[in-house]
Structure 1
Amino acid sequence: MLDVDRRQVLAYRIAAHGLHREVADPDRLAVFDLGVQDVTKRDTAVLALVARLPDAARAQTLLDDAGFTLGWTHRGAPHYHRSAEFRALIPALLPLDDADAEVRMLWQRKEIAAAGLPGTTVLHTAATALRDVVGEPMTKGAASTEVTTRIPEGLSRWCRGCQATHIHEQLMRLATPIAGIRLEPGTSPATLAPLAKRPRIPTTADVAGATRIVQSYLRLHGPATASDAAGFVGTTRTTVADRLWPADLAEVTVDGRPAFLPAEHLPELENPPEPAFVRLLPPWDPLLQARDRAVLVPDKAHQKELWKILGNPGAILADGEIAGFWRTRSAGKRLEFTMTELWPLPTSARAATEQEAERVAQAREYGDLRITWA
């Protein structure tokens, strides 16, 4: 059995994620096999492409590219997917049964009791109401207000901040793609819109499609475990291990711990290319979506700094390691960067980091930048 250490795993993942900048066409980036998470106010999806494409300006076209569709998909988080694949993805997002639906909706016993309906029925009820309401672009708030009047009381809750009753947040997010609804790119507040020629609401989960999602996770974030893949999907380890586990996996050990990778990618893990470069990864970058965070960042204090509940920084990737964090703030037409090293970087790495900052500023359409090393 092949045994690898975390440095070799990181080198493999960096190559699998396209960070060597060998692909010029965004559509061919393997990260879109899973989707690229987006936080509009932070330009995270655009900056994830800046880190991967040779031409940084090409990343800016993502918001207007009909070849990509934005939707609330994995775990209810907004992700860009290839438009040609989006409709086929929808039934693969459907929970496998009532228990799975309740886990994905993040419901506890009190929510289940209040609903008085099986989990899959709850999701189908919400999706039907959303489909009826969203016939044209409308803000999330407007859609939620209208949907709440069409669903049973147990599917909504009082929002103290809005001083109004809304459909449960996670329920709305999971039901939206099932209803054939996407998100409008670059809008704040979030704006919902119907898919062109939207499909009917699926009633049966596409188990084969869901298994392919797990397989893509293991390919991009492997070697990994069923628990890791379940964390990405938003379900339980048992659901993945018993019902969504792909065939043709190779078992390896990572620093002595068992993990799995699609067997066809074993040669790439055995001899990954050397990641001798610097990249600025935005918050929620695809590489940072791995659930085995100790492989990416061994120090627990550094993990807490990188993966916060709110306000994640970006990561400085230098020579195959997460070597620091970066943040920005705007000052008029200037974008100000604060770089924080986890250990002293060589002069060449600092210079490369500043070149990457220029690419970020260009993509965010700032004519000037200032860099401070903390």
Structure 2
Amino acid sequence: MATTSPQPADVLGRRALNRAFLARQLLLTRRTMPTEEALEHLVGLQAQAPIPPYYGLWTRLKDFRPAELAGLLTERRAVRIALMRGTVHLVTSTDCRRLRPCLQPFMERSLTTTFGKDLNGLDPAKVAAAGRELLEQSPLTVGDLSASLRTTWPDHPASAFGNVVRSLLPVVQIPPRGVWGQSGQTTYATAEDWLGAPLDPEPDIDALVLRYLAAFGPATVKDIQAWSGLTRLREVTERLRPQLVSFRDEDGRELWDLPSAPRPDPDTPAPVRYLAPYDNAILSHADRTRIISDEHRKAIATKNAVIPGTILVDGFVAGAWRTDRARGATTLSVQLFHPVSKRRRAELTEEGERLLLFASDGAAGRELRIADT
């Protein structure tokens, strides 16, 4: 893969940003890489639902098997925890310990901005302390934790207690939640108890920004803030300026990047890829047109913020997909947003058949449906 080294004043067009981004997201070629290493390179996988992280790794890694990720969770080498933007991510245990302290200011700020009405008359610090005391005795489901806390504060909705604990305490969702082929209620333990180690005592925001650029760059300050939920990061990029290179996008905005990060030729071929639901590849920039047009963002938007699986054709979102299971059969339904060439349709079919085999665990009874606009 060719890597260019533009001068600081160079402009990076949309296709140049796209190819650089795909390279860093392991979406130009499937990689042979340990699952744990891939998780750290990607700075975790968004994981509001249990299964999408498995699809996210399947589309990026050669010969990925669900047992590899499930094993990390059951062996406590990976966890599910609220991190960037306050959303649940699946990260390595090491990243849990170093990322959560960096993001704690956002978690505390979002508690009052998002759930302020439910907190009237509550002292969140006291609720969090009571929650920690309960969780130190044993892991608890969200329902049981909220019910126990509500005995002390009976005039508040049960949802308030889960939100306070999730925001103010580093709580992880423990297995079987998130384990392929299993199911379980959301059950919390504190990260310290579950991992048997404290969180890093000194948050390293500089390292967080550098890792974002390695996985998502080149990017503006607004992009970094949109991904993390943190604010006032311009002072961080200015502090890091001697370690970075600077570009401009087509609208004149300054883009930051790592000097040695891949920036392939804009004409580098990009294969068809099926992105997981909630995939960070389409959620981690303020300006997402490097991978999805504003028109197609509207096409996948839902009132309850469910982000479907999407399809990349020539590096950009060109459709959405979903799987359904009924009577022992698995169906993969693809809805294209615009016509594609015969060659691309053949790629969609081949890749879709592979996804079907993965999603169905190899069981018989599989059907692929591709619908045009």
The TM-score with structure 2 as length reference comes to: 0.81
| Equivalent position amino acid for 1:369 in 2 | R
Q: Which residue of 2 aligns with 1:5?
A: 13
Identity over the aligned pairs, expressed in percent?
23
Aligned residue for 2:290, secondary structure, equals helix
CA distance 1:244–1:30, shift in 2 (3 Å):
farther
Which of these residues, 236, 255, 260, is aligned with residue 255 of structure 2? 260
Q: Which residue of 1 aligns with 2:194?
A: 196
Counterpart of 1:274? 268
State the match for 2:71 in structure 1.
64
Map 1:178-217 to 2 at 5 A.
181-184=172-175, 185-186=177-178, 187-194=183-190, 195-196=193-194, 198-199=196-197, 206-208=202-204, 210-217=205-212
Query: For residues 236 and 151 of structure 2, what CA distance do their matches in structure 1 show?
Result: 36
Q: 1:116 to 1:310 in 2, by over 3 A?
A: closer
Shift of residue 29 of structure 1? 1.6
Q: What 5-or-longer segments of structure 1 have no aligned partner?
A: 159-164
Alpha carbons 1:11, 1:320 under 8 Å: kept: yes
Instruction: Select 2:165's aligned residue among 166, 172, 188.
Output: 172
Cα distance in 2 for partners of 1:304, 1:326 equals 15
Taking a change above 3 Å as real, the CA distance of residues 197 and 371 of structure 1, as seen in their structure-2 partners, is closer
The match for 1:301 among 295, 301, 311 is 295
Task: Quote how far apart the aligned CAs of 1:46 are.
Answer: 0.3
**Which SS does the other structure have where 1:228 is aligned?**
helix
2:284 to 272, 279, 290: 290
Map 1:290-369; keep pairs closer than 5 Å: 290-291=284-285, 292-298=287-293, 300-308=294-302, 309-364=304-359, 365=361, 366-369=363-366
- 2:113 is equivalent to residue 103 of structure 1: no
Equivalent position of 2:4 in the other structure: none
CA distance in structure 2 between the aligned counterparts of 1:264 and 1:191, rounded to whole angstroms: 42
Q: Check the 8 A contact 2:300/2:307 in 1, yes or no.
A: yes
Contact 1:250–1:262 (8 Å) recurs in 2: yes
Query: Is structure 2 residue 138 aligned with structure 1 residue 136?
Result: yes
2:63 corresponds to which of 37, 42, 55:
55
Classify 1:201/1:61 alpha carbon distance in 2 versus 1 (closer, same or farther; 3 Å).
Answer: closer
2:97 is aligned with 1:87: yes
- Residue range with higher mean Cα deviation, 59-68 or 317-326: 59-68
Amino acid corresponding to residue 103 of structure 2 in structure 1: L
What is the number of residues matched between the two proteins? Answer: 345
CA contact (8 A) 2:292 2:317 kept: yes
Answering whether residue 229 of structure 2 is matched by residue 234 of structure 1, we say: yes
- Matched position secondary structure for 2:305: coil
CA distance in 2, matches of 1:372, 1:330: 14
Contact 1:328–1:337, Cα closer than 8 Å, also in 2: yes
Deviations 1:108-131 (A, max 9, x none): 6964983576xxxx3x54443332
Contact 1:157 1:167 in 2 (8 A): yes
Provide the rounded CA distance (Å) in 1 between the counterparts of 2:296 and 2:58.
24
Aligned-pair CA distance for 1:31:
5.7
Q: Can you list the C-alpha shifts for 1:304-340, whole angstroms capped at 9, x where unaligned?
A: 1234333322111122221221122212222212212
SS of 2:189's equivalent? Answer: strand
**TM-score, with normalisation over the residues of structure 1?**
0.80
Shift of 1:81: 1.1
SS of the residue aligned with 1:173?
Answer: helix
> Secondary structure of 1:277's partner?
coil
5+ long unaligned stretches in structure 2: 1-8
Aligned-CA RMSD value: 3.0
